[in-house]
Amino acid sequence: MAEDVMVAGVGMHPFGRYLDSSLKDLVRVAGLRALLDAGIGPKDVQMVYSSNAMAGMLQGQEMVRGQTVLREIGIEGVPVVNVENACAGGSTAFAQAVMAIRSGAADVVLAIGFEKMFVADRSRTLDALESAADLDVVAGLGIQFTAVYGLRLRLRLADGSITRRDLAEVSVKSHANGARNPYAQHQVTVTAEQVLESRCIADPLTLLMCSSICDGAAAVVLARGGVLPRSERPAVRVLASASGSGFTLDPAGGPSGADLCARRAYEQAGIGPGDVDVAEVHDAMAPAELLYAEALGFCPPGEGGRFFRSGATALDGSLPINPSGGLASRGHPVGATGLAQLAELTWQLRGEAGDRQVRRPRIALAQNSGGWLEGESAAVNVHLLERMRPWT
Amino acid sequence: MAEDVMVAGVGMHPFGRYLDSSLKDLVRVAGLRALLDAGIGPKDVQMVYSSNAMAGMLQGQEMVRGQTVLREIGIEGVPVVNVENACAGGSTAFAQAVMAIRSGAADVVLAIGFEKMFVADRSRTLDALESAADLDVVAGLGIQFTAVYGLRLRLRLADGSITRRDLAEVSVKSHANGARNPYAQHQVTVTAEQVLESRCIADPLTLLMCSSICDGAAAVVLARGGVLPRSERPAVRVLASASGSGFTLDPAGGPSGADLCARRAYEQAGIGPGDVDVAEVHDAMAPAELLYAEALGFCPPGEGGRFFRSGATALDGSLPINPSGGLASRGHPVGATGLAQLAELTWQLRGEAGDRQVRRPRIALAQNSGGWLEGESAAVNVHLLERMRPWT
């Protein structure tokens, strides 16, 4: 990767339930905070990638979603590209922004994601969510993400490498992190007993393991290295950006989409999983973290449960995972999630994460997956970020 | 523009009304034809940009539209990015594909656009179309593109620079071209009298001046220069790719989005409007061609009517416009239109356009606009293509 692409600024609208807020309200907060954080104004943005997944079916704004919300914060005239990749839309916007800078098309690019899933009729939200897979295949089956995750975890419970206690404890850990995150939807701690006793959603998954319907927005300003004035804060650089999309899984086994993208990202960066100091992974169901730790190479295949039980992934562990609380606790407003991960990691690398700050991280990894196709994610993005200044 | 990006292959599914075809059926034809034309197979595609505007509201496939249709033609695993920019979505996919190659992320990229607007309930199609503007502003007003075009043209009728006869004759010319295009929705010639006497849609626009609801798909394979084996056909190169988005128009006048993007494109290519030999412009209403001829610099401001009357824009003129028939005659399946323009120009540059072939073109321009925001298009893309081999 020849050219340095820097994370110049990040911002979020807290995730939660905002019945009286519009998409524009959410975008205004996240967008202006990111610009302020980058020390620039709306007129400095040369290009925008906008990520939203559901405003067509939920708000009726089927087209030009980005343009309509961005004009409100004074961004107009510049190229705006609306991207959608289900739950991986936010990181897709980020990946495209990196690409736009590398291509020479722009020096300062805004990636912004927003979603408003709370609408009067919840069945519409569920219908839209169902279409994160091929409707010709799944329509009416009633099989959604939760069930797919549940089926995968049952295999692992059967072989004994993960226990029901692990499933509960990983949710306890996520909630403990989320309780320290002012941007999180669920800022409460829970006990393993509460998790196990909460309503069963798709065995072995219970309510307190699952991400919920959520409103929110997140934004990241990316800039070509050297273009924006130096800030007092430690600079954060994009080390790698790797993407893939769903494929038919080899019945004989083989690497998953997250595996493949992680390998590509490590190769781009010239580092290995052992170099990662903190990670945000796509735990739409908290226990997914156990599987992703394996796919991303943080531990050997089959060792996700053991790795977690060792305490490595806790805030004070050797490789903290989801310090933000993850999707299950921070919340999962579909088009915004991937950018919220990158905002969290930027704060962590800069040492600005407050009560949930992990210890002196230098390399951070974000993994964001979306949709599914024959059992594999329809879109996957893995990004690696680096803190440029040594910790003192 | 440092690196050569070549148009390696193009393909279309004929535009029209296909009640028994699915999105996958349309994509299969356009996609496989483009691959065949490029002399490659599905596994050679390294990345995809997929453009669709309305499948959320019309087919219920709110997410991962590209992934679901592409798996059918054997494209999976590689990054797929779903883009949307209203009627400019197709050229946005093309612009992103160019960028991906220039950034070094991929060598061979497919841009594909598809739309199925004929559904059982036409009011849903109209609702989705209305959302090509900010719903907070336009919802329920009943003011759509047609009315906006109508208002603009009335100003020009009032100042006498364009006549009602011009409006009719430009539609006659478009239909004459479309009648020679096997991919066009309306392959019929019309007379000026028929155009003027057809139903009034938004004065001065009549039915035969307007593009209609349409199904279709179009695809373009782009490749880094030198990556694919040389073909017998003349190579076609991307000379410029310029994009912009809606902005609040200066009440005192000033350049439009199409003006600005055209200027950027000419600057990138180091040429001027006088170098363009053939153009496809976004005539969602046939008379828009008269205004775009001015915006793109083909004639001085205010001279669009006179330029057209001189015969310059006819198939055998000095600067043929819309040899395909344009949107009003070829049809306008929203997400596919921009790529259909680029497919047409590729055929024209190669000398493969059959009965509608224009004379020995070397430079071609495609202008594709989408949506609106305070009276200006929400997205605009202007591309310049060049035939690399001299005509013999």
Nearest to A245 among B24, B78, B371 (CB): B78
Judged by CB atoms closer than 8 Å, whether chains meet at A56 and B139 is answered as: no
β-pairing, A376-387 vs A236-245, is antiparallel
Catalytic position from the list A13, A87, A210, A383: A87
Judged by CB atoms closer than 8 Å, whether chains meet at B136 and A68 is answered as: yes
**Residue B147 pLDDT > 90:** no
Chain B hits for A128, Cβ within 8 Å: 56, 62-63
Give me the pLDDT at residue A70, please.
96
Judged by CB atoms closer than 8 Å, whether chains meet at A80 and B77 is answered as: no
Q: How would residue B244 be classed by pLDDT, with cut points 50, 70 and 90?
A: very high
Chain B hits for A102, Cβ within 8 Å: 102-105
Give me the pLDDT at residue B240, please.
98
| Segment B49-65, tens digit of pLDDT | 999 999 999 999 999 99
Higher pLDDT, A141 or B72: B72
β-pairing, A47-51 vs A80-84, is parallel
Q: What are the structural domains of chain B?
A: 5-122+214-224 (3.40.47.10), 133-205+235-387 (3.40.47.10)
Nearest to A373 among B67, B103, B243 (CB): B67
Chain A hits for B76, Cβ within 8 Å: 245-248, 373
Mean pLDDT (whole number) for B304-313 = 98
| Closest CA–CA distance from residue B69 to any residue of chain A (Å) | 8
Counting residues of chain B whose pLDDT is more than 90, the rounded percentage is 86
Chain A hits for B54, Cβ within 8 Å: 56, 62-63
Give me the pLDDT at residue A142, please.
66
**ipTM topping 0.90:** yes
Catalytic position from the list A13, A175, A332, A383: A332
| Closest CA–CA distance from residue A168 to any residue of chain B (Å) | 31
Tokens of B136: 């907070």
* pLDDT tens, residue order, chain A (392 aa): 457 999 999 999 999 999 999 999 999 999 999 999 999 999 999 999 999 999 999 999 999 999 999 998 999 999 999 999 999 999 999 999 999 999 999 999 999 999 999 998 999 998 899 889 888 888 777 667 788 889 889 999 999 999 999 999 999 999 999 999 999 999 999 999 999 999 999 999 999 999 999 999 999 999 999 999 988 899 999 999 999 988 877 766 778 889 999 999 999 999 999 999 999 999 999 999 999 999 999 999 999 999 999 999 999 999 999 999 999 999 999 999 999 999 999 999 999 999 999 999 999 999 999 998 876 899 999 999 999 999 98
**Residue B1 pLDDT > 50:** no
**Residue B2 pLDDT > 60:** no
